[in-house]
Structure 1
Amino acid sequence: MAASPSAVMFRGVERHYGAVRAVDGVDLDIAPGEFFAMLGPSGSGKTTCLRLIAGFEQPTAGHIEIFGEAMEGVPSYRRPVNTVFQDYALFPHMNVLDNVCYGMMIRGVERGEREQLGRAALGMVKLAGKEERKPGQLSGGQRQRVALARALVVRPKVLLLDEPLGALDLKLREEMQGELKTLQRSLGLSFVFVTHDQGEALSMADRVAVFNEGRIVQVGAPEEIYERPRTRFVADFVGGSNVIDAALAGAWTGSTKAASLRAEKIVLLANGAAAPDGAIVIDGSITQTLYQGAVKRIELVTDNGQRLVASVPASLSATPAPGTGVRVAFPRAALHPMEEP
């Protein structure tokens, strides 16, 4: 039996703007029903890839398929996708129901049918009863739900989300992360989510592609991306890991590669406290302590000159002041060798 086609497939895809290679040889497979995140800094190529899927851009080179159908030259309105934008792009003069039904009206769907489908879509995003309100009468989170309902009501095979939570405050953004994931699971659609926020990507996605300078530098499950970064860029961008150069990592473990060490793997040893069995123990001095709510960020420099950041519970009874000598420890297995320095 032939394998099911990918929801989205890129092969050798490039997009140039003059001498600038916004997308530079991307290969990618997104599975049907997968929540897939494209993560990277501004200018890394992730949004351009989303626009290539949507049909707002055409590739300079390479091949794109959506559910086994080639997309070269296919306009955006004929692709089985829809997009939710960061600014929501709602019509302020229309009520909520008319905003949701607008795409179906353009497609010629009869009024009674489209209103029935529109009300069902609003119920799906928990906005039943808000049909007659104007966008200006809604909160930011409610407007985002209207945009979602408008995108979903036309039954796309792939939903594209271009940093849709970027305009929301932190608490609402965290609430919407859970709601988006629940909605995606219930619908079984492929979601392609673009973000520069590693917390969003790690919390929602089944898999994450990390972009840098127009290329994908690593693809994997959130745990793999966080715990086992392949490159210095991924280690630093996703969670701000300590990067240990090859010489020092070799002195500690015998490895010949630079290594990633997550801040939360490092523990402070109180005076006279024994280190866990097999742990690497290092002496140094505190340079700065930052209170961050549930944790404290402890910055230190070791006796051999390596700068480290440790993330320790804020509930610790006492944290050494800057300039104080300190002994820290971490499991040998917490040092993850990277493929690229």
Structure 2
Amino acid sequence: MTTAVSFQNVSRHFGPVRAVDDVTLTIAPGEFFAMLGPSGSGKTTCLRLIAGFEQPTSGHIEIFGETAEGLPPYRRNVNTVFQDYALFPHMTILENVGYGLMVKGVPRAARQKKALDALDLVELKGFDARRPSQLSGGQRQRVALARALVNEPKVLLLDEPLGALDLKLREQMQVELKTLQRNLGITFVFVTHDQGEALSMADRVAIFNQGRIVQVGAPQEIYERPRTRFVADFVGSSNVLPPDFVAGTGGPARWVSLRPEKIAIAAGAAKPPAGSHGVTAKVTSVHYQGAITRVNTEASGQELAVSAPSSLAGLDIGATVSLSWPLSALHAMEDEA
């Protein structure tokens, strides 16, 4: 079966720095695949290896069955949308979108029609005569998308394209990007350090750390069943609990992940309900977040964060609270960090 993108033991070194270190992965045709990790984890270098802006130090890359190493960017059937959009300020929106077609020698009438169709696809019909400076950040991002899509790539690469947008617009564009990808049916490879973006849009997520992939899976799998302490801590907010503390509350003597929303909290000291495990704790800080309040607590030297309904009373700093959780809420992880 043909894969959209295949990495086989790929490394990219810059002197002594292993930016990408023996990465193996496959991305399916039509998949929305996210590469998630902190700065310097190797995700953007992997994207540049797919685009052809970097060449591997070792290993093998294929794009729809074709060997990619040594192939220049213009010979690859991929396009990239960058965070800064890289639009030409002196050109109209129509000229920006049709620029790649002009470079390929597509006749003027044909490229204008394709550029107008691409603008319609990203809901910018009627904006063709404007210049980038006359558009909002979200509109410029759509122009960059249209410019990439007009070339009909088999793989669209997105390098943190929503990073420059405000929160509300970013959330709106997440929905629109996923809908667009589903309607077009082409492969999207999306690089981000924002776990919310990755979880909300991707079919599968690869978690990067120190040049390596530490876990690949569906968003729910990554969130609910992190393989390592790094994944649990990086993807969403989790309580990463050591074996001795877990064993002391009746759980397995293992490193576990316990998500804050799975902890029940009540004012005062009380035994856990039947079938649950728990501790008595002190409230150390309270952070109102609208519908929920994040309550940080401490029990026997262990910090535990809890997501509590904002309507719950008795959660003042210094207050004694009871925390409880079902055994099923504890996810045991590998011993490695």
Alignment counterpart, residue 312 of structure 1, candidates 292, 303, 308: 308
Question: Structure 1: which amino acid aligns with 2:70?
Answer: G
Cα distance in structure 1, aligned partners of 2:274 and 2:99: 64
Partner of 1:56: 53
**How has the CA–CA distance of structure 1 residues 173 and 116 changed in structure 2, closer, same or farther, with 3 Å as cutoff?**
same
Are 1:230 and 1:340, in contact at CA under 8 Å, matched by a contact in 2?
no
Q: TM-score under structure 1 normalisation?
A: 0.96
Q: Residues 205-263 of structure 1, C-alpha deviation per residue, up to 9 Å, x if partnerless?
A: 00000000000001000001111111111111111210110122233345242000001
**How has the CA–CA distance of structure 1 residues 273 and 27 changed in structure 2, closer, same or farther, with 3 Å as cutoff?**
same
Alignment counterpart, residue 91 of structure 2, candidates 90, 94, 97: 94
Cα distance in structure 2, aligned partners of 1:274 and 1:252: 12
Are 2:283 and 2:317, in contact at CA under 8 Å, matched by a contact in 1?
yes
Question: Structure 1: which amino acid aligns with 2:317?
Answer: P
**How has the CA–CA distance of structure 1 residues 330 and 81 changed in structure 2, closer, same or farther, with 3 Å as cutoff?**
same
Cα distance in structure 2, aligned partners of 1:232 and 1:198: 16
Alignment counterpart, residue 290 of structure 1, candidates 246, 263, 287: 287
Question: Structure 2: which amino acid aligns with 1:81?
Answer: V
Q: Does 1:177 align with 2:174?
A: yes
Cα distance in structure 1, aligned partners of 2:187 and 2:26: 12
Partner of 1:154: 151
Partner of 1:324: 319
Q: Residues 19-69 of structure 1, C-alpha deviation per residue, up to 9 Å, x if partnerless?
A: 000000000100000000000000000000000000000000000000111
Cα distance in structure 2, aligned partners of 1:294 and 1:251: 32
Alignment counterpart, residue 235 of structure 1, candidates 227, 232, 245: 232
Cα distance in structure 1, aligned partners of 2:253 and 2:117: 59
Q: TM-score under structure 2 normalisation?
A: 0.97
Alignment counterpart, residue 100 of structure 2, candidates 98, 103, 106: 103
SS of 1:159's equivalent? strand
Report which stretch shifted further, 289-298 or 265-274: 265-274
Cα distance in structure 2, aligned partners of 1:180 and 1:119: 19
**How has the CA–CA distance of structure 1 residues 37 and 237 changed in structure 2, closer, same or farther, with 3 Å as cutoff?**
same
Cα distance in structure 2, aligned partners of 1:331 and 1:95: 59
- What residue ranges of structure 1 are gaps of 5+ in the alignment? none
SS of 1:29's equivalent? strand
Question: Structure 2: which amino acid aligns with 1:39?
Answer: L
Cα distance in structure 1, aligned partners of 2:124 and 2:23: 38
SS of 1:62's equivalent? strand
Q: Residues 53-86 of structure 1, C-alpha deviation per residue, up to 9 Å, x if partnerless?
A: 0000000000000011111100000001000000
- What residue ranges of structure 2 are gaps of 5+ in the alignment? none
Alignment of 1:234-313 (within 5 A): 234-271=231-268, 275-302=272-299, 304-313=300-309
SS of 2:290's equivalent? coil
Cα distance in structure 2, aligned partners of 1:124 and 1:307: 49
* RMSD between aligned residues: 1.3
Are 2:80 and 2:156, in contact at CA under 8 Å, matched by a contact in 1?
yes
Partner of 2:7: 10
Cα distance in structure 2, aligned partners of 1:289 and 1:123: 47
Cα distance in structure 1, aligned partners of 2:119 and 2:233: 40
Cα distance in structure 2, aligned partners of 1:262 and 1:272: 21
Question: Structure 2: which amino acid aligns with 1:284?
Answer: A
Alignment counterpart, residue 142 of structure 2, candidates 141, 145, 160: 145
Cα distance in structure 2, aligned partners of 1:140 and 1:188: 26
Are 1:241 and 1:262, in contact at CA under 8 Å, matched by a contact in 2?
yes
Cα distance in structure 2, aligned partners of 1:273 and 1:286: 15
State the number of aligned residues. Answer: 336
Q: Residues 187-221 of structure 1, C-alpha deviation per residue, up to 9 Å, x if partnerless?
A: 00000000000000000000000000000001000
Cα distance in structure 1, aligned partners of 2:280 and 2:250: 17
